[in-house]
Amino acid sequence: MMTPHNGAQMGDFAKTVLMPGDPLRSKFIAEEFLENPRLVNEVRNILGYTGTYKGIPVSVMASGMGMPSIGIYSYELYQYYGVENIVRIGSAGSYVERLNVRDVVLAESAYSDSTFALKTSGATEKTMYPSEELNAIIMSKADELGINCKKAVVHSSDAFYTTPNVGGWQDIREQTGTECVEMESFALFHNANMLNKRAACILTISDSFCTNEVLSAEDRQNSFREMMRLALESAIA
């Protein structure tokens, strides 16, 4: 079985796939955290690997950036490769003082004015929800590991660069109640719900619109490790 965007065979992916945006991060996770990682996809350099974590099969594959990209890859994993759970592991910009750079965040919902859901399935909702079951597993693992994981309402934006005439981040925050911004969760949650599968999204805050702080590469790596431990331990729970 192959799709236009994935060269893996049926059975190459584990039931649970961790999805960073960046293909090189996927490679790093596989090589650093998985036992016996095997490259299962490299179409368009969207590197995908399957290995084991503490003896249990886990996969990791990049999503690329934005909803069209994660929309394609998550759909194919769920629909054609028998994947049951996708946990996005990404970064986000904070709209609120409660969420500081380095914080680990679990998406409790994703708001978007993207047309992704409408175009995909006719869904008109502007908020999509992750799996309650996965979120419960992740929160209880965070407790167990002593990781302060904050639940937050996520804004899934179609644009990274915006001009003032479309409204500032404060307007978006006030109008939507969102607390941080990334670019993928809404589409991932939509696909999971449409296909009766499960999705969750863990984020580290990499930049703050409130304080203008931006994480250095080294800090990113450290907080990323905390998120990775949480994602991997949750994946095998």
- Shortest Å distance, C-beta 224 to ligand ADE: 12
* 162 to 64, 206, 228: CA distances (angstroms): 20, 18, 30
Q: Is 31 exposed, middle or buried (0-12, 13-18, 19+ CB in 10 A)?
A: exposed
Written in H, E and C, the secondary structure of 153-202 is EEEECCCCCCCHHHCCHHHHHHHHCCCEEECCHHHHHHHHHHCCCEEEEE
- Shortest Å distance, C-beta 90 to ligand ADE: 7
Q: Give the DSSP H or E segment for 28.
A: helix 23-33
- Shortest Å distance, C-beta 181 to ligand ADE: 5
* 127 to 113, 119, 187: CA distances (angstroms): 9, 15, 10
* Nearer of residues 133 and 160 to ligand ADE, judged by Cβ: 160
* Nearer of residues 118 and 160 to ligand ADE, judged by Cβ: 160
The residue length of the chain stands at: 237
- Shortest Å distance, C-beta 207 to ligand ADE: 5
The residue sitting closest to ligand ADE, measured at its beta carbon, is 93
* Nearer of residues 12 and 182 to ligand ADE, judged by Cβ: 182
Please give the angle made by the CA atoms of 104, 109 and 113, to the nearest 5 degrees. 115
* Nearer of residues 207 and 219 to ligand ADE, judged by Cβ: 207
- Shortest Å distance, C-beta 70 to ligand ADE: 13
Q: How far apart are CA 189 and CA 200, in angstroms?
A: 7
Return residues touching ligand ADE (CB under 6 A): 91-93, 157, 160, 181-183, 206-207
* Nearer of residues 76 and 182 to ligand ADE, judged by Cβ: 182
- Is 207 a residue of the active site? yes
Q: How far apart are CA 117 and CA 9, in angstroms?
A: 28
Catalytic pick from 22, 158, 207, 219? 207
Residues marked active site are found at: 207
